[in-house]
Structure 1
């Protein structure tokens, strides 16, 4: 039995290490060729994106091949014990939690309802926390990607490695959520860890595209693109989760997109030097919206299937994001150049820390708001934040805004509030129907 276990462990080790080495060498070869190194500055994002994906593949491909091998060979039946087996079980196997769920129901303790004033205080606290976190994050994000940094010797430079910013943000978010999980008792986690890789990869790519787009488009364009991503989110929801939408959801989404077009036509692109620059920025926004739409729908599917807590989702998604971006940065050696930039420009170091802290705590405020007050209240707070973000950016970074832009902006947020109103009416009808059903059941007795 030990001999068979050793043989199987050697096979699985070969399956993991061989593609890692092969992909690493391929990454080094391609990144050193003229094809990737002699591209136009307008298309640097394509070169950088290919390098990043090659780096992520050294983790994703061996994981996929291991999964295929385990499925086809009944690996766990032949190797019931060992450190590698335990690791692979955690990564690929869905635990049966029927007993733990039963015991939780038996030992359930009634939760005391919060008083009106306590809930009012929490709502104000979460509102202020979200506004401060993400308004600060938006301002610092635009500064990091668009403003020059000056060293003590008077040398000035732009910081251009978007992946390093994603790496730092995810590392801090993972650290904070990990500490909370250690000190907060959560329900048993039964989701196979490999399922987080999908939304982790899409989350990394959406964040990277968001940072890269700031090199080609102004921050207000990004905010409006986020506000107008409801149509692709709905399409991705039908594809991933088979979600059915109401007629008013389609109407408000189309109205919102029209408002965004008015805004973008009016404000123009004050960063575009050529039409190619504008095309690059638009392509990055389209890719960002596609990945971001997939992320939210995939996470929603995991929440529903495995009853994951928000802090567990935050911890494991950021764990894999940290691993993927860290692996890619080390392979490209850009990790060391970014650290050198960090040490050379103290102002950038401060901005980087503030950006990461705001991102991490912003996630905590999001999860807390949705958990306590539901998604409807969060959408209202988020909409107010988007309005303020655009206005603050226009003031601080001198983005021009005229009558047509104001009309388009108001059109966008009017459509969002209209959607909130219809959602509220729908919820009220549902509550009324439930009360009517309860009354009719009582009358039967």
Structure 2
């Protein structure tokens, strides 16, 4: 438990130190982020959703006995309600603020009218923060030997590409509420890929859940009162992000199979470190190829306000993932899923109320339909109550 609490203290201090330069709107972002991606968001992911949330949930089989025992022993004296408050509160705090900062980064306009558009440089900074925290956690929990790195490399590359496309969608005019709702429909490409390639079958309820999320998102897009329709390029990027989510899910399954075949059980911080290590390498190569490093750093130097937002954005990602691991170690996957899933809904509502988005009655009906699909997916996954280990 020490690492999540230490990270929260460090993050709070950093946020307080930069309070004088933060926009008034950011200071009101008090709610705490429920369960994503990978992240996601979420986790990371969505989890996830950094380390995708799908990876974290799939690997719960993934939280090794050693890590679970270590983290549980450290907090053994705490009541389960306090553990839940620490885990869920940390996730809410980090990832709700994470979403707010991500929106602010791509809505920021410099005095000369230019905006930050270097999505791959943003991924370099975010994944680097997660690499550092993952390394510290790995040293505390003990690293796992013999991990097959190739599977991590492929999974990390596809995952960072999905995250970059989400940022590029925001940079190209797609609103944050709409992008977040659309990303909640990531089950659609996963289902499609499984149907075509894996011969899977799904129930009518599962098809209706996906249809509700996608349909609600489309209605929200048409129900804006102001600001016009979303850009075609922004929509194209969010679709690409969803497709890459489906690809990532396939690679994550292969990652799990490869580690099992190698006879190793990576611990949570192993996953955090190695996934983000290859995400960072991928982002560095692409950002250098697109010349985003020089232009992005130049923009940040000329606009220090946005640079502080980017640093806090990266810290939120790393702190949030640490609390995700804490929650995994102490509770059943349903608890984590509940937190990250409801986070998506709160992130959308907070953005609407705090960032000046305006919706018509049609838009609100779309919000309700999409949120209904998200909640339905959560309820359907509930095989029983989450319990403390």
Give the structure-1-normalised TM-score: 0.63
Aligned-pair distance for 1:147? 1.6
Q: 2:296 aligns with which of 338, 346, 366?
A: 338
2:222 aligned partner: 265
Distance of 1:367 and 1:243 partners within structure 2: 30
In structure 2, C-alpha distance between the alignment counterparts of 1:184 and 1:167, rounded to whole Å: 25
- CA distance change for structure 1 residues 197 and 240 in 2, over 3 Å: closer, same or farther? farther
Shift in Å, 1:238? 5.2
> 1:376-391 residue pairs with structure 2 within 5 A?
376-391=334-349
Q: Is the Cα contact below 8 Å between 2:179 and 2:238 reproduced in 1?
A: yes
CA separation in 2, counterparts of 1:362 and 1:304?
Answer: 27
The aligned counterpart of 1:62 is: none
2:307 matches 1:354: no
Partner in structure 2 of residue 97 of structure 1: none
Question: Are the structure 2 counterparts of residues 113 and 243 from structure 1 closer, same or farther at C-alpha, using a change threshold of 3 Å?
Answer: farther
Tell me if the contact between 1:149 and 1:348 (Cα under 8 Å) persists in the aligned partners. no
Is structure 2 residue 354 aligned with structure 1 residue 396? Answer: yes
Distance in structure 2 (CA, Å) of the matches to 1:127 and 1:329 = 34
- Higher percent of residues as helix: 1
Alignment size in residue pairs:
313
- 8 A contact 1:217–1:270 mirrored in 2: no
CA deviation after TM superposition for structure 1 residue 286, in Å: 0.8
Partner of 1:178: 135
Corresponding residue number in structure 1 for 2:367: 409
Contact residue 95 and residue 320 of structure 2 kept, 8 A: yes
CA distance in 2, matches of 1:165, 1:320: 15
Counterparts of 1:175 and 1:262, CA distance in 2 = 41
2: CA distance, partners of 1:356 / 1:113: 27
The correspondence for 1:206, drawn from 162, 165, 174, is 162
Three-state SS of the structure 1 residue aligned to 2:281 is helix
Measured after TM superposition, the shift of residue 420 of structure 1 is: 2.7
The residue that corresponds to 1:195 in the other structure is 151
CA–CA separation in structure 1 for the residues paired with 2:183 and 2:333 = 17
Could you tell me which of 204, 229, 236 is aligned with 2:193?
A: 236
Aligned position for 2:324: 366
Separation in 2, partners of 1:375, 1:149: 43
- 1:209 offset after TM fit, Å? 0.8
State the distance in 1 between where 2:289 and 2:209 align: 45
Is 1:290 equivalent to 2:243 in the alignment? yes
Scaled by the length of structure 2, what TM-score is found? 0.72
Tell me the CA shift for residue 356 of structure 1.
Answer: 0.4
C-alpha separation in 2, matches of 1:369 and 1:194: 28
Conserved 8 A contact 1:169-1:356: yes
Query: What corresponds to 2:25 in structure 1?
Result: none
Asked which structure has the greater CA Rg, the reply is: 1
Does residue 146 of structure 1 match 2:99?
A: no
Q: Which digits, 9 at most, give the CA deviation of each residue in 1:166-194, with x for residues without a partner?
A: 110011111110121122224x3433211
Q: Evaluate the alpha carbon distance shift between residue 146 and residue 246 of structure 1 in structure 2; reply closer, same or farther with a 3 A threshold.
A: same
- Measured at CA, do residues 217 and 269 of structure 1 come closer, stay the same or move farther in structure 2, by a change above 3 Å? farther
Alpha-carbon spacing, 1:257–1:338, altered in 2? closer, same or farther (3 Å):
closer
1:325 to 283, 288, 311: 283
Which residue is equivalent to 2:94?
133
